[in-house]
Amino acid sequence: EAGVTQSPTHLIKTRGQQATLRCSPISGHTSVYWYQQALGLGLQFLLWYDEGEERNRGNFPPRFSGRQFPNYSSELNVNALELEDSALYLCASSRPPWDEQFFGPGTRLTVL
C-alpha cells in the first residue's frame, strides 16, 4: 500500500511570493491534515479537510488556505510569504473517526 506522498520535497521562495504544496493521501483515506513544523519546534495544526470540506482550521492567518479535490488529494496555498513561514510542512491522512494519522515525508519551504 502506497503511503502519503507530498510534493515538492523542497521549495525555495522569496518574501511576498506564493507557494503551493501538494499531498496525496493513502488510498481509502478521506481526511487530510496539514501541519507546520518550524525548526526545533512542535507540530502546529493548520488545516483539516474531509470529503472536500474544511472541517477545522488552526490559529493561522487567512493567507494560509487549501482545498481538497474529489480524489481526496489536497493542496496547501500560502500567499504573501513571510520569512517566518520557513518550515517543514507535513501532510497526514486518516480514515475518520477513529483511525490514526499517517504522515507524508513533508515539504521543506524556505523563504528568503
Partner 1 sequence: RKEVEQDPGPFNVPEGATVAFNCTYSNSASQSFFWYRQDCRKEPKLLMSVYSSGNEDGRFTAQLNRASQYISLLIRDSKLSDSATYLCVVNIPYLYNFNKFYFGSGTKLNVKP
Q: Which of 7, 65, 73, 101 binds partner 1 (CB under 8 A)?
A: 101
Whether 81 contacts 19, CB under 8 Å: yes
**Nearest by Cα to 4 from 30, 23, 21, 31:** 23
Whether 45 contacts 101, CB under 8 Å: no
Q: Does 105 contact partner 1 by CB under 8 A? A: yes
Whether 6 contacts 106, CB under 8 Å: yes
Q: How far is the CB of 33 from partner 1 (least distance, A)?
A: 7
Q: Does 7 contact partner 1 by CB under 8 A? A: no
> Which residues contact partner 1 by CB under 8 A?
33, 35, 42-43, 45, 48, 50, 55-56, 88, 90, 94, 96-98, 100-106
